[in-house]
Amino acid sequence: MNTINLINLMKNYSISKIAKTALLSTLISSGVSWSKNPEPKDANGNPLITIKGYTFSDFNKNGKLDKYEDTRLAMADRVQDLISKLTDEEKASLLIGIGMPGFDPIKFEFHPEADLGKVPGAAGGTFEIKRLGLASVIVSDGPAGLRINPKRDKDSNTYYATAFPVGTALASTWNTELINNVGKAMGNEVKEYGVDVLLGPGMNIHRNPLCGRNFEYYSEDPLLTGKISAAMVNGIQSNGVGTSIKHFAANNQERNRMGVNAHISERALREIYLRGFEISVKEAQPWTIMSSYNLINGTYTSERKDLLTTVLRNEWGFKGLVMTDWFGGYNSFMAPFSPNSVSNVNAQLSAGNDLLMPGMPNQKQAVLDNIKSGKLAPAVVNKDLSRIIELILKSPSMSKYNYSNKPNLKANAEVTRQAAAEGTILLKNDKNTLPFTSKSTPLAVFGLTSYDFISGGTGSGDVNEAYSVSLIDGLTNAGFSIDTELEGKYKPYNAAQNIIEMERRKNNGGLLATPKRIVELELSKETIESKANSSELALITIGRNAGEGDDRKVNEDFNLAADEVALINNVSEAFHAKGKKVVVVLNIGGVIETSSWKDKVDAILLPWQPGQEGGNSVADVFSGKVTPSGKLTMTFPAKYEDTPSFKNWIGTPTENPTNVTYEDGIYVGYRYYNTFNVKPSYEFGYGLSYTNFEVSDLKLSATSFASKITATVTVKNTGKTAGKEVVELYLSAPSKNTDKPSSELKAFAKTNLLQAGESQTITLTLNPKDLASFVTDKNAWIAEAGAYKVAIGTSSLNIKQTASFSLAKELVVEKTNSSFAADVKFSDLKH
Ligand code: BGC
């Protein structure tokens, strides 16, 4: 018989009763038995366990182990046992978050005793029930890395997290393996800082370039969004912590995000706005989903049973928990704080929105009253609770994970550096301006953002990182020298302007203040001309920042401001007059206008908001250490007015829209531009390289579709430098019965790093659903009979190979439940 002294083990790890049980059951199954004599007690008088001749069932008999603690039992049984032990008061407390520690209005009302909680700066948590050993699950933002307070009172340690590239920059890699690794690194920080669930990734669709939070989101295309999200969720969750994919759904604008009613057709919802979530749920089972603030067709998303139960759970098979966005179901941020105001808790909980965040005292009271009066059906309460308890039981907090507070920030800095370099898109490169290697003269670096790179946007998507590498620091690290006169002008200007801007933000909503662009420093023509004499190359950075709470504007934001146009004009004229080149770096979070000025410069690099190592990442691409391989995940229109949602964007009334109608239907992004032949400045899927690729030999596995078809294609690096290429598969489906876009992205893959002359064969698969469109009056995804064209491109317009197959008979791929009934009459755009 094995004999193990568990007492010290238990003491050392001070693990919960449940964790002890887990340990015990493992020991039992490996043939260990134990004794109860003498029965030791811990400091609190709880029995501890020794291991001689004591059997598991003895614990039950002695009442020391409840069923829910027995990890050998099925999760559902343990959860039900726990629920049966809860008082109504405890049930109500579990269905509501514990408020936002550190956020005074709730701290004082809801948690008079609360300090900043277990992890200061986290966004909230679930209720702890000490008597049953149920831990509080800690949730924290966000999509570009863990957002917690970097410093704590009376504590000399620091708690910085890595600022990874923003969502758009990550997606621009089109590399799911890389995203998975970023997720692993991000999730490790979540776990090692004692957090259970990361509130991300954000995956709303880029419906319009002006959405203030587009930087947090991936793309205008649902397939790309879904695949990137799934890779990220799988990476983060591989650490044993959870994610919350958000904001479900159609949170495509920020202005009046808590009160805007989005009128969207069922087809546009299913094909565009829900499809990414569907892919992510099916391929990664995120632990949680966050419902959005807005209404869809007249009802808050957090109150829509069709969205949160019928479609999400019954049709897609989602197993996790749904939480509201913070104060979701109230129509403004003020509403929760007016006396007696309460969201429609019954509708929310009955819809399958299990947890109301961050949780308000009024909500708890309403839930308790409704449980007691029976207005909230016991079955509903039971369902919601079971999901919350399951989340708690599997959380690191529950198993008292001994987090280090010391994630490997050094290793993760390398992860973000590489990810940002791979997400950088080369938009233009005339006469091989880049890579640039000459170090004979200092670089003339213009644009205030060059000296103060924007690593990520504002709001909950921002990260408290230890440092941020600017462009000039990155270039300096790479061995370039920077013109000191320019540096001497820009740095003090930036410092002074930043103080003003930070003060302005503090007085305008703090975290939720919309950032304001700082006007460019005016440089005399003489200064610029003297730099054209002394430097071989000019760099100009154009910067943009935005964040939650409001959307961007057309003037001086989507369009360049006059001071920026003047800078580009003056620098280009002076440098070109001397036969020297100009490179523009776009340190932006969302799409801007490029067609009016792109011809004036020689090269354009788009690293987006590339995280804390941004300057190093851009320098890696600039110098050729990394060959660019990023591709646009959205369209850069020639002018804002070309945007398909231009006509109804932001809704009415514009200052505080209460209604917005998605008349653009399924024609979002390239689906619109390519079908309606509207020429963009840069198309979806576009991005250049320093090397060349040949795409050849497209072969389909069959000429007629049975249950799937695979396409294989060979990619060869025909240039002189090593590089990666993205292979994009666009499918054109027959459209006799249903109106369809000219083509849609249905699969993609990125090659390995191919050396000069090296080839790789890529295989892409088409499944039945890839052929189908959603046919509303039939409540089904249907693939039409006829000829399908497969086009393999390196952008949505640069098609390299085509092939066809046929579908003999119409295929009803999936039947659905009729959902999302319209609340007003309108029709979707048709071709
Ligand atoms: C944002 C969410 C975020 C939450 C918690 C909300 O304002 O919309 O994305 O996760 O706050 O910080």
**Ligand 1 contact, 460 CB (< 6 A):** yes
**Ligand 1 contact, 326 CB (< 6 A):** yes
pLDDT of residue 241: 98
Mutate to test the pocket of ligand 1, among 325, 330, 356 (most ligand atoms within 8 A of CB): 325
Least confident of 82-86, 337-341, 487-491, 557-561: 337-341
Least confident of 109-113, 284-288, 321-325, 523-527: 109-113
pLDDT of residue 658: 98
Mutate to test the pocket of ligand 1, among 251, 460, 548, 551 (most ligand atoms within 8 A of CB): 460
Q: Cβ-count burial of 2 within 10 angstroms (0-12 exposed, 13-18 middle, 19+ buried)?
A: exposed
- Among residues 141, 325, 354, 550, the one annotated as catalytic is 325
Please identify, by atom number, the ligand 1 atom nearest to the C-alpha of residue 246. Answer: 9
pLDDT of residue 38: 47
Give yes or no: 221 in active site.
no
pLDDT bucket at 542, cuts 50 / 70 / 90: very high
Mean pLDDT to the nearest integer, 454-472: 96
Task: Give every strand in the sheet of 261-263, ordered side by side.
Answer: 299-300, 295-296, 261-263, 659-661
Please identify, by atom number, the ligand 1 atom nearest to the C-alpha of residue 244. Answer: 10
**Ligand 1 contact, 532 CB (< 6 A):** no
Q: For 362-421, how does the pLDDT look when each residue is reduced to its tens digit (9 = 90+)? A: 999 999 999 999 999 999 999 999 999 999 999 999 999 999 999 999 999 999 999 999
Specify the residue with its C-alpha closest to ligand 1, atom 8: 325
Mean pLDDT to the nearest integer, 653-663: 97
**CA 7 to centroid of ligand 1, rounded, Å:** 43
**Ligand 1 contact, 548 CB (< 6 A):** yes
pLDDT bucket at 340, cuts 50 / 70 / 90: confident
**CA 38 to centroid of ligand 1, rounded, Å:** 52
Residue whose tokens read 């600039």:
622
> Does residue 358 have a cis peptide bond before it, meaning omega lies within 30 degrees of 0?
yes
pLDDT of residue 708: 97
Please identify, by atom number, the ligand 1 atom nearest to the C-alpha of residue 251. Answer: 8
CB 532 within 8 A of CB 575: yes
SS3 698: strand
Please identify, by atom number, the ligand 1 atom nearest to the C-alpha of residue 247. Answer: 9
**CA 193 to centroid of ligand 1, rounded, Å:** 19
Mean pLDDT to the nearest integer, 472-478: 98
Specify the residue with its C-alpha closest to ligand 1, atom 2: 325
Strand ranges in 692-823 using DSSP code E only, listed in sequence order = 693-700, 709-717, 726-732, 744-750, 759-766, 773-775, 780-783, 786-793, 799-807, 811-815
pLDDT of residue 511: 76
Of 444, 487, 450, the residue nearest 580 (C-alpha): 444
**CA 448 to centroid of ligand 1, rounded, Å:** 30
Q: For 760-819, how does the pLDDT look when each residue is reduced to its tens digit (9 = 90+)? A: 999 999 999 999 999 999 999 999 999 999 999 999 999 999 999 999 999 999 999 999
Specify the residue with its C-alpha closest to ligand 1, atom 6: 326
The pairing of strands 811-815 and 780-783 is: antiparallel
**CA 325 to centroid of ligand 1, rounded, Å:** 6
pLDDT of residue 109: 54
Specify the residue with its C-alpha closest to ligand 1, atom 4: 326
In degrees and rounded to multiples of 5, residue 686 shows phi and psi of -85, 145
Residue whose tokens read 């590239």:
165
Q: What is the DSSP letter of 525?
A: H
**Ligand 1 contact, 613 CB (< 6 A):** no
Mean pLDDT of the chain: 92
Largest CA distance in the chain: 93
Specify the residue with its C-alpha closest to ligand 1, atom 9: 460
Please identify, by atom number, the ligand 1 atom nearest to the C-alpha of residue 124. Answer: 5
**Ligand 1 contact, 123 CB (< 6 A):** yes
Residues 6+ apart with CB under 8 A from 765: 708, 709, 710, 711, 747
Specify the residue with its C-alpha closest to ligand 1, atom 3: 460
Within 13 Å, how many C-alpha atoms sit on residue 374's CB side? 0
**CA 118 to centroid of ligand 1, rounded, Å:** 19
pLDDT of residue 46: 52
pLDDT of residue 16: 52
Mutate to test the pocket of ligand 1, among 326, 334, 357, 462 (most ligand atoms within 8 A of CB): 326
Specify the residue with its C-alpha closest to ligand 1, atom 7: 326
CB 722 within 8 A of CB 770: no
Task: Give every strand in the sheet of 581-587, ordered side by side.
Answer: 425-429, 603-606, 581-587, 537-543, 444-446
pLDDT of residue 3: 32
Please identify, by atom number, the ligand 1 atom nearest to the C-alpha of residue 460. Answer: 12
Residue 696 pLDDT > 70: yes
Mutate to test the pocket of ligand 1, among 548, 550, 551 (most ligand atoms within 8 A of CB): 548
Q: What percent of the chain has pLDDT over 70?
A: 90
> Does residue 247 have a cis peptide bond before it, meaning omega lies within 30 degrees of 0?
yes
pLDDT bucket at 828, cuts 50 / 70 / 90: very high
**Ligand 1 contact, 203 CB (< 6 A):** no
**Ligand 1 contact, 636 CB (< 6 A):** no
CB 172 within 8 A of CB 229: no
pLDDT bucket at 26, cuts 50 / 70 / 90: low
Which residue did the predictor score with more confidence, 551 or 30? 551
**CA 197 to centroid of ligand 1, rounded, Å:** 13
**Ligand 1 contact, 325 CB (< 6 A):** yes
Of 180, 174, 286, 285, the residue nearest 225 (C-alpha): 174
Which residue did the predictor score with more confidence, 113 or 777? 777
Residue 42 pLDDT > 70: no
pLDDT of residue 9: 42
SS3 54: coil
Please identify, by atom number, the ligand 1 atom nearest to the C-alpha of residue 293. Answer: 8
Mean pLDDT to the nearest integer, 323-333: 96
Q: Quick one: tokens of 349?
A: 């909980």
Which residue did the predictor score with more confidence, 87 or 10? 87
Of 812, 770, 796, 784, the residue nearest 271 (C-alpha): 770
**CA 460 to centroid of ligand 1, rounded, Å:** 6
- Can you tell me the distance from the alpha carbon of 399 to that of 378, in angstroms, rounded to the nearest whole number? 29
**CA 550 to centroid of ligand 1, rounded, Å:** 14
Mean pLDDT to the nearest integer, 42-57: 45
Please identify, by atom number, the ligand 1 atom nearest to the C-alpha of residue 199. Answer: 10
pLDDT bucket at 266, cuts 50 / 70 / 90: very high
Q: Would you mind telling me the total number of residues written for the chain in this entry?
A: 831
pLDDT of residue 61: 40
Residue 215 pLDDT > 80: yes
**Ligand 1 contact, 681 CB (< 6 A):** no
pLDDT of residue 190: 98
**CA 702 to centroid of ligand 1, rounded, Å:** 47
- Can you tell me the distance from the alpha carbon of 182 to that of 610, in angstroms, rounded to the nearest whole number? 13
Please identify, by atom number, the ligand 1 atom nearest to the C-alpha of residue 461. Answer: 9
Specify the residue with its C-alpha closest to ligand 1, atom 11: 326
Least confident of 34-43, 369-378, 448-457: 34-43
> Does residue 378 have a cis peptide bond before it, meaning omega lies within 30 degrees of 0?
no
Residue 601 vs residues 306, 538, 585: alpha-carbon distances, Å = 51, 10, 11
pLDDT bucket at 33, cuts 50 / 70 / 90: very low
**Ligand 1 contact, 257 CB (< 6 A):** no
Least confident of 31-45, 90-104, 598-612, 697-711: 31-45
**CA 142 to centroid of ligand 1, rounded, Å:** 8
pLDDT bucket at 56, cuts 50 / 70 / 90: very low
**CA 123 to centroid of ligand 1, rounded, Å:** 8
Residue 193 pLDDT > 60: yes
pLDDT bucket at 14, cuts 50 / 70 / 90: very low
Please identify, by atom number, the ligand 1 atom nearest to the C-alpha of residue 216. Answer: 9
How does DSSP assign 579-613, residue by residue? T-EEEEEEE-SS----TTTGGGSSEEEE--S--TT
- Can you tell me the distance from the alpha carbon of 576 to that of 595, in angstroms, rounded to the nearest whole number? 19
Mean pLDDT to the nearest integer, 223-233: 99
| 228 conformational bin, left if phi > 0, alpha if psi -120 to 50, beta if neither | alpha
**CA 287 to centroid of ligand 1, rounded, Å:** 17
CB 260 within 8 A of CB 651: yes
